[in-house]
Amino acid sequence: MKTFLRIIGGLVVLGVIALLAFIFVPVQRTAPAKELAADWQPEPGQGEYVMHASDCVACHTAEGGEPLAGGRAIASPMGTIWSTNITPDTETGIGEWSYDDFRGAMVDGIAKGGTHLYPAMPYENYRLMQEEDIRALYDYLMAEVAPVQNEVQETQLSFPFNLRFGIRAWNWLALTHDAGFNPVGTSDLQDRGQYLVEGPGHCAACHSPRTPFMAQDGVTASDDAFLTGGVIDGWNAPALRGEGSAPQAWTVGELADYLATGRNAHSAANGEMGLVVEHSLQYLTDEDNLAMAAFLKGIDGAEVEAPETVAAAGPIATPDPEADDAGRETAELLISADPEMPLGARLYTDNCIGCHFASGKGAPGLFPELQDNHLVTGSETAPLISVILNGAEVPGTAKRPMTLRMQGYAERLSDDEVAELATWLRGAWGNDAGPVSPADVADVRDTDATH
Amino acid sequence: MTDLPGYPSRRSFLKASAAGAALSGLALPASAQQQPQPVSLDEYQREYLNADEWAFIMAATARLIPSEGDGPGALEARVPVFIDRQLASDYGTADDWYMEGPHDPNAEPARGWQTPLNPAEVYRQAIPAFDAWCQETHGAAFAELSPEQQDASLTSLQNGDVALAGELREFWGLLLSNTKEGYFADPQYGGNHGMQSWVYIGFPGARAAYREWPERHNVKYPLGPVSISGERA
Task: Tell me which residue of B79, B92, B56 sits closest to B5, measured CA to CA.
Answer: B79
Shared domain for A214 and A121, answered yes or no, is: no
Residues with Cβ < 8 Å from A225, sequence gap 6 or more?
A: A208, A209, A217, A218
The percentage of chain B sitting over the pLDDT mark of 90, rounded to a whole number, equals 75
Name residue B203's amino acid: F
* A354 to chain B, closest Cα gap in Å: 5
* A324 to chain B, closest Cα gap in Å: 16
Number of A/B CB contacts below 8 angstroms equals 55
Of the three residues A108, A141, A174, the one that is the final residue of a domain is A174
Contacts of B232 in chain A (CB under 8 A): 346, 350
> What is the C-alpha to C-alpha distance for residues B31 and B26, in angstroms, rounded to an integer?
14
Closest partner CB to B230 (pick from A335, A339, A413): A413
Alpha helices by DSSP H, listed for B50-89, are: 51-64, 79-88
Contacts of A412 in chain B (CB under 8 A): 229-230
Encode chain A (451 residues) as per-residue pLDDT tens digits.
Answer: 555 556 555 655 555 565 666 666 677 899 888 889 989 999 999 999 999 999 999 999 999 999 999 999 987 767 789 999 999 999 999 999 999 999 999 999 999 999 999 999 999 999 999 999 999 999 999 999 999 999 999 998 888 888 888 888 889 888 989 999 999 999 999 999 999 999 999 999 999 999 988 899 999 999 999 999 999 989 999 999 999 999 999 999 999 999 999 999 999 999 999 999 999 999 999 999 999 999 999 999 999 998 988 988 776 766 667 899 999 999 999 999 999 999 999 999 999 999 999 999 999 999 999 999 999 999 999 999 999 999 999 999 999 999 999 999 999 999 999 999 999 999 999 999 999 999 999 999 998 776 5
Shared domain for A230 and A120, answered yes or no, is: no
* B183 to chain A, closest Cα gap in Å: 22
Count of domains for chain A: 3
Highest mean pLDDT among A319-333, B100-114, B127-141, B203-217: B127-141
Q: End-to-end alpha-carbon separation of chain A, Å?
A: 17
Shared domain for A287 and A337, answered yes or no, is: no
Asked if A215 and A170 count as a contact pair (C-beta separation under 8 A), the reply is yes
Name residue A33's amino acid: A
Q: What is the DSSP letter of A35?
A: P
* B171-184 helix and B51-64 helix, angle to the nearest 10 degrees: 70
* B187 to chain A, closest Cα gap in Å: 14
CB contact under 8 A, B223 and A357: no
CATH assignment of the domain containing A214 = 1.10.760
Determine the residue among A350, A356, A417 to mutate to test chain B binding: the one whose Cβ has the most chain B Cβ atoms within 10 Å.
Answer: A350
Shared domain for A290 and A335, answered yes or no, is: no
> What is the C-alpha to C-alpha distance for residues B5 and B3, in angstroms, rounded to an integer?
6
Backbone torsions φ then ψ of A364, nearest 5 degrees: -55, 130
Per-residue pLDDT at A7: 59
Shared domain for A170 and A192, answered yes or no, is: no
* A438-449 helix and A382-390 helix, angle to the nearest 10 degrees: 60
> What is the C-alpha to C-alpha distance for residues B189 and B187, in angstroms, rounded to an integer?
5
Contacts of B209 in chain A (CB under 8 A): 349-350, 353-354, 358
pLDDT band at B173 (very low <50, low <70, confident <90, very high): very high
Shared domain for A336 and A288, answered yes or no, is: no
CB contact under 8 A, B222 and A338: yes
Residues with Cβ < 8 Å from B117, sequence gap 6 or more?
A: B125, B167, B168
Contacts of B223 in chain A (CB under 8 A): 337-339, 346, 349
Contacts of A367 in chain B (CB under 8 A): none
The domain limits of chain B are 37-201
Cis peptide bond prior to B128, omega within 30° of 0: no
Contacts of A337 in chain B (CB under 8 A): 213, 221-223
> What is the C-alpha to C-alpha distance for residues B199 and B72, in angstroms, rounded to an integer?
10
Asked if A128 and A200 count as a contact pair (C-beta separation under 8 A), the reply is no
CB contact under 8 A, A346 and B29: yes
Shared domain for A243 and A272, answered yes or no, is: yes
Contacts of B224 in chain A (CB under 8 A): 339
ipTM exceeding 0.95, yes/no:
no
Per-residue pLDDT at B27: 32
* A313 to chain B, closest Cα gap in Å: 28
Shared domain for A51 and A134, answered yes or no, is: yes
Q: To which H or E segment does residue A101 belong?
A: helix A99-108
HSE toward the beta carbon, residue B191, CA cutoff 13 A: 25
CB contact under 8 A, B209 and A353: yes
> What is the C-alpha to C-alpha distance for residues A105 and A233, in angstroms, rounded to an integer?
25
Shared domain for A334 and A405, answered yes or no, is: yes
CB contact under 8 A, A343 and B211: no
A121 found inside a domain: yes
* A331 to chain B, closest Cα gap in Å: 11
Contacts of B21 in chain A (CB under 8 A): none
Q: What is the DSSP letter of A405?
A: E
* B233 to chain A, closest Cα gap in Å: 10
CB contact under 8 A, B29 and A412: no
Q: To which H or E segment does residue A168 belong?
A: helix A166-174
A2 found inside a domain: no
In chain B, which residue's Cα lies nearest the Cα of A321? Answer: B211
Per-residue pLDDT at A311: 82
Write the burial class of residue A194 (CB in 10 Å: 0-12 exposed, 13-18 middle, 19+ buried). buried
Shared domain for A124 and A237, answered yes or no, is: no
In chain B, which residue's Cα lies nearest the Cα of A322? Answer: B212
Cis peptide bond prior to B80, omega within 30° of 0: no
Residues with Cβ < 8 Å from A395, sequence gap 6 or more?
A: A262, A274, A278, A403
pTM, two decimals, is: 0.89
A319 found inside a domain: no
A323 found inside a domain: no
Range of the domain at A337: 328-394+401-450
Closest partner CB to B212 (pick from A335, A341, A350): A335
Closest partner CB to A337 (pick from B208, B223, B229): B223
In chain A, which residue's Cα lies nearest the Cα of B206? Answer: A350
Contacts of B222 in chain A (CB under 8 A): 336-339
A284 found inside a domain: yes
3-state helix, strand, coil in chain B (%, to 5): 45, 0, 55
> What is the C-alpha to C-alpha distance for residues A327 and A334, in angstroms, rounded to an integer?
11
A321 found inside a domain: no
CB contact under 8 A, B208 and A351: no
A19 found inside a domain: no
Closest partner CB to B232 (pick from A335, A338, A350): A350
Between A8-17, A51-60, B32-41, B90-99, the lowest mean confidence (pLDDT) is in: A8-17
> What is the C-alpha to C-alpha distance for residues A149 and B166, in angstroms, rounded to an integer?
75
C-alpha R_g of chain B: 19
Determine the residue among B31, B210, B216, B221 to mutate to test chain A binding: the one whose Cβ has the most chain A Cβ atoms within 10 Å.
Answer: B31
The three-point CA angle A92-A95-A101 to 5° equals: 105
- Long-range residue pairs from A108-115, CB within 8 A, at least 24 positions apart, any chain: A108/A29, A108/A30, A108/A171, A108/A175, A109/A167, A109/A171, A109/A175, A110/A27, A110/A29, A114/A27, A115/A164
CB contact under 8 A, B31 and A411: no
Coil, strand, or helix at residue A273? helix
Residues with Cβ < 8 Å from A428, sequence gap 6 or more?
A: A327, A330, A344, A345, A348, A360, A370, A371
* B79-88 helix and B171-184 helix, angle to the nearest 10 degrees: 120
> What is the C-alpha to C-alpha distance for residues A211 and A9, in angstroms, rounded to an integer?
11
Task: Tell me which residue of B174, B146, B135 sits closest to B158, measured CA to CA.
Answer: B174
Q: What is the length of chain A?
A: 451
Contacts of B229 in chain A (CB under 8 A): 411-412
DSSP states of B161-211: -S---GGGTTHHHHHHHHHHHHHHS-GGGS-SGGGHHHHHHT--BS----T
